[in-house]
Structure 1
Amino acid sequence: MTDLLDANDSQMAMLADLVAGLQAAEETISGMLAARDGMLAMASRLAIDIARQANHPDYGDMATRAVAAEIGAAQRVSDRTIERRMAAASRLVTDLPDVWAAQGAGRITAAHTRVIVEASAHLDDPRDRAAYADAVLVIAEAESPNRLRRHARRIAEQYQPRSLTARHRDARDNRRVWVNDLDDGMSELGVHGPSTLIHGMYDRLSQIAHRVHEGNARAAKERKSTPRDTRTDERTVEPADERTVDQLRADLLADLVLTGAPTGHDSEDALWDSIHARVEVTVPVMTLIDARGAHTDLPPAELDGRCPIDTGTARRLAGEAIGWERVLTHPISGALLAVDRYRPGDQLKRHLRARDQRCRFPACGLAARTCDIDHNHAAAEGGPTCEDNLAHFCRRHHMMKHHSRWQVEQKVGGVLEWRSPTGEAYVDRPPAQNTVRFTPAEFETTEFETTESALVPF
């Protein structure tokens, strides 16, 4: 297996220089993109000022178009594209100046900035935006953009003027399906709908596709092991099915849509009976019992650690679930304390999945349920099978851990310290739990001794 184990000191030194150089280049690019956003925001402001001094009745729309066209012509870019960039830059520079400054200093990348801006779309109060930016930048400087997304949404939710349940009720009216035509006789089908249904659809397709793929692999293995002289006439044997899982998912979707019975005219409740998929929802127990929505400051439920969902949907899933996994957290720090379940099961696996939530290699966001559980200190060398020596790694990073110079040491509280081949240290901490947290003063007066979150497999 090719890896870095055989590299000499000179090659490792060259790699270290390349990593440092690329990091410096990335910081320079981030700073330049921030500078470009600053100039685009100035161009937008200039267009509005020109329109205002001339009392234009369109409030600067035509002046903005003219300025965008001037910039677009010089850069050989569509003026519509430039106008969109001007609007996005104005929002960043005006509404989230601290985020813009952080990108300009190279502390975060443009990808981080996009995630932060998208999550703040509904924050209209300047004080809320400032508080949101302060909280999210601490995480952005330590995490990758894909990991940042769930944290940004969770933090932004604390400052939303309307509850997620109310916003979801309105957003459902915008559900739709669309088609984009591509090259080579191909097109793509898009669906905009409730997260629980979309993830349920995708997971069901994935389960069927993997089952078919595994069956095809077994059939191919059996054909290879059968002696040629005992095989059926090869002219009558169907060709081997070599479709990938992605191809199978696409074909299954086409089969289900084109040949299945339509139920779109039925009630919403009828759709729940059609979902036979693995959907996990984490909902703080205080949110779950607040049926009337009296406490608007409680955190919403989360779908498989990916995105918030409305409380009504979470409560429905919790009520119909055949089993709960209860995640006990510290009432002040929010740290994971324990995981238990009403029905007996593999306690340690549930605890690790609730703690890790995703692959524990830096910047990887693959969900824990798709990952391997690995001993950090190998069991063959005496490493114990306990939570302090186990963590989730996706197959890619699991293999890399064992077959390259990347090394990992597990610290207290599930913290992993990775050491790269060039000697750089990277710390990966377990994600924060989706739970209610109290200040010490609040905790002394509350009747709850622990906070709980339910991880509900549906």
Structure 2
Amino acid sequence: MNAMVTASDEQMKSLDALVEMARDAERSVNAMQAARDGVLALASRLAMSMVEQQGDADEAELTLRTVAAELAAALRVSDRTVQRRMADAEVKVDRFPAVWAAQGAGRISAGHTRVIVDAGMHIDDPDARAAYAARVLEFAEDESPNRLRPIAERLAEQYQARSLDERHQEARETRTVWVKEHPDGMSELGVFGPTALVHGALDRLTQTAKSLTAAQKQSTDSEPGEEAAADLRTLAQKRADLALDLLLTGAPAGHDTPDGLLSAIVAKVTVTVPALTLMGATGIESPAAELEGRSPIDPQTARMLAGAASGWDRVLTHPIGGAMLAVDRYRPGKELKRHLRARDQRCRFPGCGMPVRDSDLDHTKDAASGGPTADDNLAALCRRHHVLKHHSPWHVIQLGDGLLEWTSPTGHVYIDRPPPQNTVTFTDNTRHADDHPDDRPADPWAATSEALLAPF
């Protein structure tokens, strides 16, 4: 039995107090990090104002380096580290002031800010960038950084002046492989390339490693009289060994079975392609295709993958709100599983971003207790949170429309919503002043930040 079940009222009150203290401390830390970014951005502006007074642009880098060295000596860190932080801070403060202010007010964390800035870095138009920031902040205040990333990337695509196809062709030119040395005779081999290919390579390694484990088990079971050496490698270790085997020999020769089972495995990736994107529709703002609901991929690659697929799931969404209505498929299959995987996309415990492919479909109300096997009583949970649900005082109920209400052992309630679908929605362009009232009190941090940066 989980110890939380038998905890005393006094212990639960202490835990509740610690939760509130941690929340307050986190807000303070985020606000102080934003304040530090403001100071570093001011230092960068001050250095540039010194250069402008002399009119010598060639001195800019040296002046920035000198200012960074002054700060680094006082903070007892590397001047290279400070200069990098100054550059990052200037991007946040200058290009994403609303995001910086939200962090300063403790509404989002430094992790949220990093995700928002990374996704919107290449939006050059200031008005488009501000509109993107305003929309993504609505999600950032409710989601964890890892869940926010695919949402931010999807929103950023809507404000890009250049198409993803064009940017992808340019980005492909930067593909590379590198080696990074580590202690104890180890090194890291990295590959930077097109998303579909990289994920496909990882999927092939995973399938191969699992098939190898199954083949080894079958061999041991079929020859009980012979003692085979146990393969104690983890899945990650097998993937690493297979990757090097493939790269060095061109095939998993050192691991393959006599019948060539492993060489026959092909990679498998899951791509969501809006119908308008698939058709190449022009004149309509259609979203980019997505890999596993996480990473945008260029439409040309998506259309190629769709054309070669033997069948695909169709996700029907509401044309106004974008909510998922149903899932069907040209070929017969397990409709309910496809429906839930398309709806949930990742683990439904608050803050968890584990993809649905690595999660279990769990009965919210246990089947043994009469819970139906239906979409309003099933949700994806990764193994970690599946165990937590069944063996701890965490409690969950379904509210309808895919909403899950989680109650913590201390009584805090968290609503987990299904991630938005990758689809086109249509809205009325006519807006009224009272359509979306903002009754949030004035943000003192925003006013302070404007006054602080005014001289520069």
TM-score (norm 1): 0.88
Structure 2 residue 310 is matched with structure 1 residue 281 = no
Aligned mates of 1:218, 1:12 — CA distance in 2: 49
Deviations 1:165-196 (A, max 9, x none): 00001111111100000111111011010000
The offset of 1:239, in angstroms, is 2.6
Q: Which amino acid aligns with 2:272?
A: T
Which residue is equivalent to 1:164? Answer: 164
**Which residues of 2 match residues 116-265 of structure 1 at below 5 A?**
116-216=116-216, 231-232=225-226, 237-260=227-250
Structure 2 residue 347 is matched with structure 1 residue 359 = yes
Total equivalences in the alignment:
420
The offset of 1:297, in angstroms, is 2.5
The offset of 1:294, in angstroms, is 3.0
Which residue is equivalent to 1:447? Answer: none
Change (3 A) 1:54 1:194: same
The alignment partner of 1:4 has SS state of helix
Contact 1:122/1:160, CA 8 A, preserved across alignment: yes
Contact 2:245/2:251, CA 8 A, preserved across alignment: no
Which residue is equivalent to 2:311? Answer: 323
Contact 2:65/2:83, CA 8 A, preserved across alignment: yes
Change (3 A) 1:386 1:179: same
**Which residues of 2 match residues 256-405 of structure 1 at below 5 A?**
256-260=246-250, 276-290=266-280, 294-295=282-283, 297-405=285-393
Which residue is equivalent to 1:416? Answer: 404
The alignment partner of 1:316 has SS state of helix
The offset of 1:217, in angstroms, is 5.6
Contact 1:163/1:296, CA 8 A, preserved across alignment: no
The offset of 1:261, in angstroms, is 6.5
Which residue is equivalent to 1:429? Answer: 417
Which residue is equivalent to 2:45? Answer: 45
Change (3 A) 1:213 1:127: same
Aligned mates of 1:124, 1:441 — CA distance in 2: 24
Aligned Cα root-mean-square deviation (Å): 2.0
Change (3 A) 1:214 1:420: farther
Q: Which runs of 5+ in 2 are unaligned?
A: 253-262, 431-456
The offset of 1:3, in angstroms, is 4.2
The offset of 1:51, in angstroms, is 0.6
Contact 2:27/2:109, CA 8 A, preserved across alignment: yes
Deviations 1:352-409 (A, max 9, x none): 1100000000011111122111111111111111111111001110011000000001
Aligned mates of 1:219, 1:184 — CA distance in 2: 35
Aligned mates of 1:371, 1:360 — CA distance in 2: 9
Aligned mates of 1:218, 1:3 — CA distance in 2: 40
Contact 1:13/1:422, CA 8 A, preserved across alignment: yes
Aligned mates of 1:213, 1:4 — CA distance in 2: 37
**Which residues of 2 match residues 41-120 of structure 1 at below 5 A?**
41-58=41-58, 60-120=60-120
The offset of 1:222, in angstroms, is 8.5
Which residue is equivalent to 1:406? Answer: 394
Identity of aligned residues (%): 58
The offset of 1:278, in angstroms, is 2.1
Deviations 1:301-320 (A, max 9, x none): 01110111000000000100
The alignment partner of 1:190 has SS state of strand
Contact 2:48/2:60, CA 8 A, preserved across alignment: yes
Which residue is equivalent to 2:454? Answer: none
Contact 2:270/2:292, CA 8 A, preserved across alignment: yes
Q: Which runs of 5+ in 1 are unaligned?
A: 263-272, 443-458
TM-score (norm 2): 0.88
Aligned mates of 2:87, 2:210 — CA distance in 1: 44
The alignment partner of 2:173 has SS state of helix
The offset of 1:18, in angstroms, is 1.0
Deviations 1:192-230 (A, max 9, x none): 10000000000110111122234556677899xx6xxxx
Which residue is equivalent to 2:434? Answer: none
Contact 1:213/1:244, CA 8 A, preserved across alignment: no
Q: After superposing the two structures, state which structure 1 stretch, 5-14 or 33-42, moved more.
A: 5-14
Which residue is equivalent to 1:7? Answer: 7
The offset of 1:87, in angstroms, is 0.6
Which residue is equivalent to 2:436? Answer: none
Q: Which amino acid aligns with 2:339?
A: H
The offset of 1:151, in angstroms, is 0.5
Contact 1:406/1:420, CA 8 A, preserved across alignment: yes
Aligned mates of 2:197, 2:265 — CA distance in 1: 8
Contact 2:287/2:422, CA 8 A, preserved across alignment: yes
Contact 1:325/1:340, CA 8 A, preserved across alignment: yes
Aligned mates of 1:284, 1:298 — CA distance in 2: 7
Aligned mates of 1:79, 1:58 — CA distance in 2: 20
Which residue is equivalent to 2:16? Answer: 16
Aligned mates of 1:260, 1:360 — CA distance in 2: 40
Q: Which amino acid aligns with 2:323?
A: A
Q: Which amino acid aligns with 1:53?
A: Q
Contact 1:355/1:430, CA 8 A, preserved across alignment: yes
Change (3 A) 1:440 1:131: closer
The offset of 1:295, in angstroms, is 3.4
Contact 2:208/2:265, CA 8 A, preserved across alignment: no
Aligned mates of 2:395, 2:22 — CA distance in 1: 22
Change (3 A) 1:368 1:206: same
